[in-house]
A and B are shown apart, each in its own frame.
Chain A
């Protein structure tokens, strides 16, 4: 085992870790909100809530802006208002997770393993992209890390302070994301079971959990969802659409898709893959057909007919690279090798349970890799433990190979992303407005065109008839447009009340087929998701 001071592997890994940490820090400080989901709801709803609050707000245009818990999304408010460092909360979560991993790994396996483990985490593309975005997935990993860290320190010095932070972490986890409620519930139960020999302490912890849920659990979004949709989790049809509808069959199918999706065959785009990646997807389709699991477990909007495993460099559509393949293999090894006393096995078994939970609860979609970041991180750390927990000649060689792969992956992660390479830092400074819509350039071009058309008819109002999946943030935040965002019923109501005036501008993501509308222009822009490579949006005026 390495000591407190790192050897050559540790020193090299330490250098790359700090170099990349510095790079990502710079990126996080300058990059705007580029994430598609954030422009639809995560951050978009902050902009809308600043106008009309949360309860009974007339400004929300998507059920997702109300139904998802927002404890972590709300953290972005000051950065969003400032216009800089919007992804800093996620990066703080990543940094905090790295600290926990480093301290606990160094204490158990030495400095070499600790530094290599950190670089290995940075080599998981989806994890580092989430850690430098405005999405709400990485806080689950961070809250889990704080919980583990608190428990570890509590075991060492028995101070109640650590129990306080464990409880606090679970409240934060539950409020950050709906799936966090499930994980927080499981960890809370584990805590109470562990404390059962001290009922008074267990009771205090239970009380703390209740307070933590009240303070950090985003209860207000559940209350508003229940009022609007009759269900605290959101419209039942939407919940059903996003969940695994097929129980154990769906879970088995999803797990097999996650295993196949972990195999790395090189980068892909967001709509096409290499022949090797296509071959893996075809093999998985045949496996699912042979086992009678075709289309089982899917988010209703997707199906096995278009199954593809992405390594695209986009935060939601990226896999976990070659390190992810090794992490998954280590995770699966826990299913066939019974080593309950080995730390690597415990981590791998926890990762397996995590993959199984996601498979059971979340409907499969190509956009779902971000649900897996915690489990890939655990699988990666399991492999570090497997390599470092005993000294053998073979392990000495494998450690070097592992460290080299981790460094190569960590360096490649920004370079293989279309919006996180060094050029993106320059673009954030020089061409910020265009870079903001780099994931979906059409909305940026539409915004430019609307500005020009509005200049032609001063005093006209811009209406955006938005659907659940509309990217409303770039339009809502443009002061020169001062756009009115409405849902189709809201738009119909405005028409009926005679609020719409001749010459007003309208864009719509629904086809309302309103006889009031006359097309005045059509904007086409590059589109990374479309097979055609472009996407078009019509702009109308009120006749």
Chain B
């Protein structure tokens, strides 16, 4: 029996499920936003 994925692997597996598409889009946009804002603030 394969061990259940953990951490980022589990997150990526959940993100690939079609029923989670809206969550995946929102999470990706939010992640981009946080990183971009940090970059812009710290310039």
Contacts and interface: CB of A to CB of B under 8 A. Distances in A.
A96 B39 contact: no
Interface in B4-25: 19, 21-23, 25
B29 A89 contact: yes
A100 interface: yes
Contacts of A75: 29, 32-33, 36
B41 interface: yes
B25 A95 contact: yes
B42 A168 contact: no
Contacts of B36: 46, 74-78
Contacts of A367: none
B43 to A, nearest CB: 4
B1 interface: no
Interface residues of B, number: 20
B43 A70 contact: no
A149 interface: yes
Contacts of A171: 30
Interface centre among A49, A55, A139, A145 (most CB of B within 10 A): A49
A215 B34 CA distance: 7
A172 B43 contact: no
B30 A53 contact: no
Contacts of B22: 96, 99-100, 142, 145-146, 149, 165
A70 B30 CA distance: 12
A257 B41 CA distance: 40
A172 B29 contact: yes
A96 B27 CA distance: 12
Contacts of B32: 74-75, 77-78, 89
A337 interface: no
Contacts of B19: 103, 153
Contact of B26 (A52, A74, A165, A175): A165
A314 interface: no
Contacts of A93: 25, 29
Given A46-B40, A74-B32, A74-B33, 18 more contacts: A52-B43, A53-B40, A55-B41, A71-B37, A74-B36, A75-B32, A75-B36, A77-B39, A89-B29, A95-B25, A99-B22, A103-B19, A139-B29, A145-B22, A146-B26, A149-B22, A150-B23, A171-B30
15 contacts: A50-B40, A53-B42, A54-B41, A55-B41, A71-B33, A71-B37, A72-B29, A72-B33, A75-B32, A75-B36, A77-B40, A96-B26, A100-B22, A139-B29, A175-B33
Pairs A-B, 6 closest by C-beta atoms: A77-B36, A74-B36, A53-B43, A96-B25, A49-B40, A96-B22
